[in-house]
Amino acid sequence: MPSNSDSSSSSSSSTSSGEYQTPKRNSTSIDQSLDAIENQLASISMFQPDSLLESEPEPEPVPELEVSKEELVNGSVNVIEELPAKNEEGESLKASSSRVWTNASEEVEEMEAPPSPSSSGYDGGRGSSATSGIEDANDDDNDGEIVEVRSHGDSVGASDSQAPWTPGKRHGDEDDASISWRKRKKHFFILSHSGKPIYSRYGDEHKLAGFSATLQAIISFVENGGDRVKLVKAGKHQVVFLVKGPIYLVCISCTEEPYESLKCQLELLYGQMILILTKSVNRCFEKNPKFDMTPLLGGTDVVFSSLIHSFSWNPATFLHAYTCLPLAYPTRQAAGAILQDVADSGVLFAILMCRHKVISLVGAQKAALHPDDMLLLSNFVVSSESFRTSESFSPICLPRYNPMAFLYAYVHYFDLDTYLILLTTSSDAFYHLKDCRIRIENVLLKSNVLAEVQKSLLDGGMHVEDLSIESGSRSGSVSPHSSQSGLATESAERLRDTFSGVGGPAGLWHFIYRSIYLDQYVTSEFSSPINSLRQQKRLYRAYQKVYTSMHEKGIGPHKTQFRRDENYVLLCWVTQDFELYAAFDPLADKALAIKVCNRVCQWVKDVENEIFLLGASPFSWRLLSL
Amino acid sequence: MPSRRRTLLKVIILGDSGVGKTSLMNQYVNKKFSNQYKATIGADFLTKEVQFEDRLFTLQIWDTAGQERFQSLGVAFYRGADCCVLCYDVNVMKSFDNLNNWREEFLIQASPSDPENFPFVVLGNKIDVDGGNSRVVSEKKARAWCASKGNIPYFETSAKDGVNVEEAFQCIARNALKSGEEEEM
């Protein structure tokens, strides 16, 4: 095993190492707005009946975040109140977006300098500064698109952020001389250590050969000095480098995501490549540095672009955990039992999934299936159209299981959303796995699992509106969510009135709960006001940022964090057993928010049978079948 | 996915400073020439798509700086090259004498698997200067050196007038392609 390529993630003292800092908002107006917010909070808290704060019954099975005169008292408390600095400009969103428009149009003019058609744009007169062309980009929320290129006609960048994501490479005609290319908010590149392009998120790899060479030159130049480049900051842009033996990965982003998140995304991108090819490609480079990998990856563009897309919606990409489709306990047990049955017949892993959610999962060595591998595997399956049309048998590699060896995956879709993956080490197990699949399919149909799955897709999982603030009335089930509304108490209703019927109690908008032992997480369904994809993505980014800050090396890990900015109140709580990230209305009251978080944890505990895959071996079904 | 397979070829241009490496590249890629001398800092990169025998491939041209102080870039730049172009100025003897150093330096740094047969191409540039009257390296002498190094293809070029530039790069591409295919098998 080539060990040198493995150690590339180890840190070294380099020019600038992961120095992400929470961006400070305009500080001049902080005091004023702080007062304003405090006033608003004071007026809101008048609506809180005191009993709500103090009538919490003491014995609770889950740990509690304690409230004492609106102050957190336990553990290391980290309260960050980021202020809505733009508050005085009225609606901050509109203000900032219009500013973007002005910037953008200025920029277009600046960049009208004649680009030489086939050159990399960094020759002669331009000097060889690699970053000069990507100094600035617009700040629209949708990094897949650009808004300001009106000159290119309406077709470019005109697509609504609400439009569903279309798979495959977009803007393949662009290169680094294109203004539109330079304005993309988030680029990903994979290249070889000789500077040959392997993958680019946008644009044509071959046309980007010059740019790719520039990236290699930068990496190699620093390497030559016995150092390693990890991060370059250029204005709003971060250029993140990851060297994996002969494979170089680079992300250029102005999305303000933390360095750690971007690096982690590059790691996943590398993992996706390993999943397709195994790490033995390194040997090809050892034998022949000229080696061109692109033919080996032919047709897999869509797998990478789908993974990159998931960096902006799938929490699994930063939580390193997987999520389950909510199902009644017996239903999941029935599925697990038949999977266990085939696993005993020599199948390494049997995974039943619906979209990106797990229905059940069984393995000869279950513990060894890393959540990242599951993410990469399901991304590979879901993004490759050919799996949908027929049963397939494909070599794949699980990078966390064994990066050097191929496994063989039998993939079959039962319906549009639900698919089965059977993994084996044997390359001639197709017919055996096909038999296994038929057995599984029969059981799933007989036990009505597939119908239940479809029903769960429709109903969704946990809805914040269903969370009762009263500790007495427990939300006992995940769905249907309407059934819980009758339990709402008077005070809860009053609270809802305060927040004009939006979201859950105390202005709870959304939450993510991650169980540490189970390697699983659950999120609430998106509901008003987090309706649009744009809002969802913004919240996702906020979670990602706060997750990073909770896990920061050196000063962390934190236990709790209360962060208020112009978009949300984010409350994070990390214990030995779980992590909770909850988003509230930016005007939410701190004490109430804490209280609600306790309720959420209790709620999750109450329904854990339905939302998580619990480890116990399902013997019941097998006894029945005997 | 279009099955049309494209090949990318990495081409390194080496030679003393001022022999016209950047000009040759600019003439080839952009069909432009400037009399002004601008020293290359580190390296410049240009790409050119070329069609050859019904196949499309991309030349990734690494135009390096000739100055001594940039020679430390070494391995990083030379790694995985498909072809190396050695340039000299027919009006400057020293630039011709240095071809041997450039070639050896490249072979040491790039350490190709088959150094004897690694594809080089030699270009004698600036044949237009002073109507050829200031020339100090004869074609015969240059060809003799090329022959002694395993029959390196040789071209006399003028980046200014575009003489032989296209032909030279055609040859470069062909040789790079040949070596690439042999190694891939």
Q: Please state the ipTM of this predicted complex.
A: 0.84
Give the CATH number, domain containing residue B25. Answer: 3.40.50.300
Percentage, residues of chain B above pLDDT 70: 89
What's the domain count of chain B?
A: 1
Spatial contact of A204 and A175, defined as CB atoms under 8 Å apart: yes
**How many alpha carbons lie under 13 Å from residue A80 in its C-beta half-sphere?**
19
Q: What is the pLDDT of residues A293-331, one digit of tens each?
A: 888 898 899 999 999 999 999 999 999 999 999 999 999
pLDDT at A593: 94
The DSSP bridge pattern shows strands A560-564 and A77-81 to be: parallel
User: For tokens 């769905």, what's the residue?
Assistant: A479
Confidence class for position A474, pLDDT limits 50, 70, 90: very low
Selection from B177, B136, B21, B173 nearest residue B86 by Cα:
B21
Residue A155, pLDDT above cutoff 50: no
Percent composition of chain B: helix, strand, coil (DSSP 3-state, to 5): 40, 25, 35
Residue A61, pLDDT above cutoff 50: no
Q: B10 and A298 in contact by Cβ < 8 A?
A: no
Most confident of A58-62, A349-353, B113-117: A349-353
Mean pLDDT of A229-233: 96
CATH 3.30.450.30 boundaries in chain A: 322-458
Q: Is residue B152 part of a domain?
A: yes
Percentage, residues of chain A above pLDDT 90: 52
Residue A121, pLDDT above cutoff 80: no
Query: How far does chain B reach from its first CA to its final CA, in angstroms?
Result: 24
Q: What is the pLDDT of residues A17-57, one digit of tens each?
A: 333 333 333 333 333 444 444 444 333 333 333 333 333 34
| B chain contacts of residue A197, beta-carbon cutoff 8 Å | 8
A195, two tokens = 């500077």
Spatial contact of A403 and A279, defined as CB atoms under 8 Å apart: yes
pLDDT at A163: 56
Q: A217 and B73 in contact by Cβ < 8 A?
A: yes
CATH 3.30.450.70 boundaries in chain A: 94-312
Mean pLDDT of A352-378: 88
Closest CA–CA distance from residue A137 to any residue of chain B (Å)? 23
Q: Is residue B111 part of a domain?
A: yes
Who has greater pLDDT, A556 or A377? A377
Q: Is residue B52 part of a domain?
A: yes
Mean pLDDT of A84-109: 36
pLDDT at A123: 37
Residue A482, pLDDT above cutoff 50: no
What CA–CA distance (Å, rounded) separates B59 from B172? Answer: 10
What CA–CA distance (Å, rounded) separates A258 from A543? Answer: 11
How many CB contacts within 8 angstroms connect chain A with chain B? 127
**CATH no. of A94-312:** 3.30.450.70
Mean pLDDT of A251-266: 96
What CA–CA distance (Å, rounded) separates A31 from A44? Answer: 20
Mean pLDDT of A361-383: 87
Please provide the size of chain A in residues. Answer: 626
List, in sequence order, every residue forming a beta bridge with A199; answer none if it has no partner.
A190
Who has greater pLDDT, A525 or A172? A525
Who has greater pLDDT, A534 or A153? A534
Give the domain range for residue B38. 7-184
Q: What is the mean pLDDT of chain A?
A: 75
Residue B48 host element (H or E): strand B43-52
Q: What are phi and psi of B45, to 5 degrees?
A: -130, 130
* Residues 6 or more apart in contact with residue B97 via CB below 8 angstroms: none
Q: Is residue B99 part of a domain?
A: yes
What CA–CA distance (Å, rounded) separates A486 from A16? Answer: 56
From the list A193, A209, A224, the residue facing B58 with the nearest CB is A209
Q: Does B81 touch chain A (CB under 8 A)?
A: yes
What CA–CA distance (Å, rounded) separates B155 from A260? Answer: 52
What CA–CA distance (Å, rounded) separates A605 from A246? Answer: 46
Selection from A447, A448, A394, A449 nearest residue A422 by Cα:
A394
Q: Does B74 touch chain A (CB under 8 A)?
A: yes
Residue A127, pLDDT above cutoff 50: no
Residue A161, pLDDT above cutoff 50: no
pLDDT at A473: 45
Confidence class for position A580, pLDDT limits 50, 70, 90: very high
Confidence class for position B34, pLDDT limits 50, 70, 90: confident
**CATH no. of A322-458:** 3.30.450.30
3-state secondary structure of A173: coil
**Residue at A97: amino acid letter:** S
What CA–CA distance (Å, rounded) separates A275 from A397? Answer: 4
How far is CA A521 from each of CA A371, A516, B140, rounded to the nearest angstrom? 11, 8, 76
